[in-house]
Amino acid sequence: MNQTSDRIRVLYSFPHKLGADRICYTAWQQVNGLAKAGADVLLFPGVLHRPVPPSVKVKPTLALGKLRVSYRLMGKMRALALHDYLVARRIKKLVGRIDIIHLWPDAALRTIETAKGLGIVTVLERPNAHTRFAYEVVKEEAERLGVTLPRGDDYFYRGDVLAREEKEFGMTDYLLCPSPFVVKSFVEQGIPRDKLLRHQYGFDEKIYRPDGGPRDPKRGLNVLFVGVCAVRKGLHFALEAWLKSPAHRDGSFRIAGEFLPSYAHSLSSMLSHPSVHLLGHRRDVPELMRSSDILVLPSLEEGFGLVVAEAMGSGCVPLVSDACTDICTHMETGLIHHAGDVQELIRQFTMLYENRDLLERMRRNTLRAAPNYTWGAAGVVLLNAYREALSRQKCFQASSAGVQP
């Protein structure tokens, strides 16, 4: 580590368009949070899609000025491999100037190998559960539903991707896990627990905030689902439970997200119910959350569930599976059910429908807890995870050398 300062110098390697949607947004917020928390950040994105703080030094790998490599024309995996190759070459000139390298999946092997030779610690982001587990649980449920996953789906089984990622898991010094569920999935696949570091994601409190108006306890429940409507998100469990609970009689179940076509066909009878409203992809999710009583996320597999933190910041009570996050406390800041347990979901919908005092109490609790899960808070947690990685590595090296750390 830097001998003249306790500021951690991190090389953040992200192979995609930093600041675009989904994981690209997550990575962008991580960089912002790290800068705010006091890290010295050297950023190697594939492409910078959205500005980062002035203190962050930016050196794209797949862009030069306004010229950008086309991920589509080159092919996604080739583009990721090129990014990895270029980062591995660059770090040879950075020995003594960086303390730790933060990497993302499918673009890390060359960089990890080079970093090991240079004595630089590497941490690999795990935005989801172990890939083998994710493939298996989605495949099993898709077959049960009669849903065909397209070859381009992220959860369509690809042996080459699995082999590469499992090699990354083995080679990196540490894996960054955003939830206990992710940790559990890796331990069950034989990864040593002391190789797994916890951190968290967050929400933007400037965007996701509550409304100030009181909730009418006599109105029907407004339930919201936000996300890609695919098998792993478990939307079918929530719909079945909703339609078997009394809440559907005068309530509304809104779905904000695009459907996998075969999944929509499988759920067509439930989706056609008058209480169910298909909104498609929406840009007004914060407003939808503010006007909703409950955010439902019954996932079979999840990394963190960003929408849960966003819902809490909006005063929308989470009703989630145990695959989502650990930020909800059952009966305090939300309701948690075992993934796939429709009967428990029915009971929970019914409980909140019949007990509006409980719903309002949990709403107040979520708003009190939400500041712990902003992106700013997440940046501090991530920086502490780096410190833990560097401390563990120092102890390991001292132990290997027979020196008392």
CATH 3.40.50.2000 matches 9-202+375-400:
yes
Torsional class of 188: left (φ above 0), alpha (ψ -120 to 50), beta (otherwise): alpha
134-173 confidence digits (pLDDT tens)? 999 999 999 999 999 999 899 999 999 999 999 999 999 9
Quote helix, strand, coil % in the chain, to nearest 5.
Answer: 45, 20, 35
Tokens of 173: 């010094």
Query: Residue 372 in contact with residue 206, Cβ under 8 Å?
Result: no
Query: Rounded to 5 degrees, what are φ and ψ at 46?
Result: -65, -55
User: Which residues make beta-bridge pairs with 224?
Assistant: 254, 295
100-132 confidence digits (pLDDT tens)? 999 999 999 999 999 999 999 999 999 999 999
If you average pLDDT over residues 48-60, what whole number do you get?
A: 98
- Amino acid symbol at 221: L
- Give the residue range(s) of CATH 3.40.50.2000 domains in the chain: 9-202+375-400, 222-372
Query: Rounded to 5 degrees, what are φ and ψ at 398?
Result: -65, -40
Number of neighbours of residue 22 by Cβ within 10 angstroms = 12
Closest CA to 233 of 215, 259, 209, 208: 259
For the chain, the average pLDDT equals 95
Q: What CATH fold (topology level) applies to the domain 222-372? A: Rossmann fold (3.40.50)
Alpha-carbon span 230 to 261, nearest angstrom: 9
14-23 confidence digits (pLDDT tens)? 999 999 999 9
Query: Residue 300 in contact with residue 221, Cβ under 8 Å?
Result: no
**405 versus 82: which is more confidently predicted?**
82
55-88 confidence digits (pLDDT tens)? 999 999 999 888 898 999 999 999 999 999 999 9
pLDDT of residue 404: 55
Query: Residue 295 in contact with residue 255, Cβ under 8 Å?
Result: no
In the block, tokens 């090389």 appear at: 11
Residue 381 confidence class, pLDDT cut points 50, 70, 90: very high
Alpha-carbon span 350 to 245, nearest angstrom: 6
pLDDT of residue 403: 58
**48 versus 69: which is more confidently predicted?**
48
